[in-house]
Amino acid sequence: MIKQTSTDTPLRSVDIIVYPGFKALEAIGAMKVFDYANTHLRLRQLPGGYDVQIASTSVGPVESDTLMSLHASKALDSTRLPDLAVIVGCHNVEEVLQELPAIATWVAEAAPRISTLAALCTGCFFLAEAGILDGKSAATHWSAVDSLRQRYPRINVNADAIFVREGNLWTSAGVTAGIDLALALVEEHFSRDIALEVARDLVVYLKRPGGQSQFSVHLASQMTTHPGMRQLQGWIMEHLAQPLTIPLLAARLAMSERNFTRVFQRETSTSPTEFIETARFEVARRLLEDNVTSLKQVAAQTGLHSEERLRRLFHKKLGITPRDYRERFSSTRRE
């Protein structure tokens, strides 16, 4: 159990809901976000914090998808609701739905009365099974999108989102996206500064906006089956400083511009322009984190050519300036 040491400040009760085969990384990631938040609130002598328990269908050890087990100190009970419940995902969620219907039943009873109910990765299937996502948007891991859509056609599945909020219901993609969601909760409950300190502890940048893509350009490139297109994506990432136009890229593959754009979209699920923009953003992030290059040089090396275009790109992707990003996440401070 994770508790803030102070006894005279209100604590938000949090249940991390697990079951046999749950994804250990998702449970531990969320727990550590709340644990670090408690630490930084205490260091700043600020009120509040989290009282975290592990909950399951019964009290006792619960085996995860790894060699690790967590001990559930609390059995699910709709008459004793926490302020926040976080249901983690698993690899075989449809089997678990059949074997443990009590979880979806608890969700249906708890959802109208709980302050916040979050589901990580395939944990959203329990919310879907309870019917509380009907007519709402939801996120899940990209590999479970088709299954979620087919099984629950009344849900608006956002296939690309890191996390989605619908009132008191939060859903996210897998593992690291669960950390993003937990950071967003810390920011809402306390402050951006506290969430930022937690992000630093975890060596991640402060929560990715919920609508940001689950896919990096490197993942998109690895998943491309068209040999020429895969080679071109590698070439793009090595020549970001150059002007990268559709006519130039299409000519490299001896394709018409129309056919090139169509094939690229089919292979990567994104347009060439979006791919290039994301690639430039990811490289710019790494350069800023290394903190050895001026903003002007970062813009030049990524093909953005001006600090203003660099600023607009970071505002679009993260809602902050490149200078703010460097200040928060660089490995060394720059005077």
pLDDT digits (tens, 9 = 90+) for 156-210: 998 878 889 999 999 998 878 899 899 999 989 998 889 888 988 887 755 454 4
Identify the weakest region by mean pLDDT among 20-29, 78-87, 205-214, 286-295: 205-214
What is residue 224's predicted lDDT score, i.e. its pLDDT?
Answer: 64
Would you kindly state where each structural domain of the chain is located, as residue ranges? 12-202, 217-329
With beta carbons less than 8 A apart as the criterion, state whether 51 and 4 touch. Answer: yes
CA distances from 230 to 3, 269, 274 (A): 49, 13, 16
Comparing 50-54, 116-120, 282-286, which segment has the lowest mean pLDDT? Answer: 282-286
pLDDT at position 97:
97
Question: Rounded to the nearest 5°, which phi and psi values hold at 221?
Answer: -65, -40
Task: Name the more confident of 258 and 234.
Answer: 258
Residue 285 has pLDDT above 80, yes or no: yes
Task: Domain 12-202: give its CATH architecture.
Answer: 3-Layer(aba) Sandwich (3.40)
Query: Who contacts 171 (Cβ-Cβ below 8 Å, separation ≥6)?
Result: 118, 119, 120, 123, 124, 127, 133, 138, 139, 140, 163, 164
Rounded to an integer, the average pLDDT of 131-146 is 94
Q: Can you name the CATH fold of 217-329?
A: Arc Repressor Mutant, subunit A (1.10.10)
Q: Please check whether residue 88 is in contact with residue 17, taking contact to mean a CB–CB distance below 8 angstroms.
A: yes
Q: Which helix (H) or strand (E) element contains residue 292?
A: none
- CB distance 103 to 19 below 8 Å: yes
List the single range of 7-21, 169-183, 209-223, 305-319 with lowest mean pLDDT: 209-223
**Spatial distance between the Cα atoms of 60 and 57, rounded to a whole number of angstroms:** 9
Question: If you average pLDDT over every residue of the chain, what do you get?
Answer: 88
**φ, ψ at 103 (rounded to 5°):** -70, -50
Average pLDDT (302-308) is: 94
- Residue 215 has a pLDDT of 47
For a pLDDT cut of 70, what percent of the chain falls above it?
Answer: 89
What is the pTM (predicted TM-score) of this model? 0.68
Q: CB of 269 within 8 A of CB of 220?
A: yes
Predicted pLDDT of residue 15: 98
pLDDT range class, residue 330, cuts 50, 70, 90 = low
CB-count burial class (<10 Å; 0-12, 13-18, 19+) for 97: middle
Q: Is the confidence at residue 82, as pLDDT, over 90?
A: yes
267 vs 137, 164, 217, 260, CA distance in Å? 26, 26, 12, 11
Which residues face 62 on adjacent strands? 70
3 state SS of 137: strand
User: Looking at residue 153, what is its pLDDT?
Assistant: 96
Residues 6+ apart with CB under 8 A from 270: 215, 220, 264, 278
Average pLDDT over residues 146-155: 96
Domains 12-202 and 217-329 share a fold: no
Amino acid (1-letter code) at residue 177: A
Whether pLDDT at 38 is above 60: yes
Percentage of residues in the chain having pLDDT higher than 90: 66
